[in-house]
Amino acid sequence: MIKVGFVTCVQLGYSCMEAIYEVGGKLDLAISLLDNQAKSKSGRIYLDSFCNSKGIPLLKASHVNNPEVIQSIKDAQLDWLFIIGWSQIASQEVLEAPKRGVLGMHPTLLPTGRGRAAIPWAILKGLSKTGVTLFKLDSGVDTGPVVDQIEIALDNQVDANILYQEVDAAHISLIKKVIPSLMADDLVLKEQDESLATEWPGRKPEDGLIDLTGSVFDAHRMVRALTRPYPGAFYFVDGIKVVVWKAVISKSRLSDRTINFYDGQLQILEYELINVK
């Protein structure tokens, strides 16, 4: 029988754990952070009740690379270990601890978009589609062989908040799709085509500055890409930082705040003023 473990400390990972049981799978080990860690982390959850109800051994550790974590994986004789919703990078020892390997998710259609800030970049680049990839982790960054993918269609109205929710839903759908094959020991892994690989760099809050001399379409794209849960696109007026959370391209006056570009008007519908003087 295939034995599976799961590492997470956030709601998305917990939802994926639930999805495993919804399609008839089971877990033989769960690993999470110590209770006093990452209390302010967005979506931080605790696995105690779920693990107790399902009879899943639960280990809490300060870091996924701790010796006790590696030993617990080996003691449980895991075939596969999922790491989803976890910011710590797994060491080579962790990657080699399960018999068949470690599986992770990346919110692009690998090999496109290896790296950081996948949701903002998908919108900023004006892609027609993105998605979520389940793949086997290796020593590279998002370079391991692919198990499966789910596509997400994009249009010129989608924003980061909507795409974030669609990416979360795709994680759960992909888990449900793959678990039956995983439990039957029938997974087929496909190496990524390096000739198609692209890497997206990390982004900083200051990268959200709107170019007031540029195109209204670029500005609108930036607003959509950086809205909540991200830091927001912004510009300055008389020492005031205007963070734009929602805007539309329109010739009609829809709000009390409008930016005129050479090729159109951006009507700002939701914004926040920050005094930086």
Q: What are the boundaries of each domain within the chain?
A: 4-106+132-143+158-187, 205-275
pTM, 2 dp? 0.94
Q: What is the pLDDT of residue 43?
A: 85
At 187 the three-state DSSP class reads coil
Higher per-residue confidence, 255 vs 127: 127
**pLDDT score of 178 more than 80:** yes
Q: What is the pLDDT of residue 120?
A: 97
Q: Which CATH superfamily is domain 4-106+132-143+158-187 in?
A: Formyl transferase, N-terminal domain (3.40.50.170)
Arithmetic mean of pLDDT, 232-239 = 95
Q: What is the pLDDT of residue 21?
A: 98
Mean pLDDT estimate for the chain: 96
Amino acid at 222: M
Task: Retrieve residue 31's tokens.
Answer: 């690993």
Amino acid at 184: A
How far is the C-alpha of 106 from the C-alpha of 104, rounded, in Å? Answer: 7
Q: What is the pLDDT of residue 115?
A: 95
Arithmetic mean of pLDDT, 203-216 = 96
Look at residues 76, 229, 73 and name the one whose alpha carbon lies nearest to residue 165: 229
Which residues lie below 8 Å from residue 231, measured CB to CB, with a gap of 6+?
A: 205, 208, 243
**Model confidence over 139-156: pLDDT tens digits?**
999 999 999 999 999 999
Q: What is the pLDDT of residue 16?
A: 98
**Model confidence over 67-122: pLDDT tens digits?**
999 999 999 999 999 999 999 999 999 999 999 999 999 999 999 999 999 999 99
**pLDDT score of 38 more than 90:** no
pLDDT tier for residue 277 given thresholds of 50, 70 and 90: low
| pLDDT > 70 fraction of the chain, expressed in percent and rounded | 99
| pLDDT > 90 fraction of the chain, expressed in percent and rounded | 93
CATH class of the domain defined by 205-275 = alpha beta
pLDDT tier for residue 34 given thresholds of 50, 70 and 90: very high
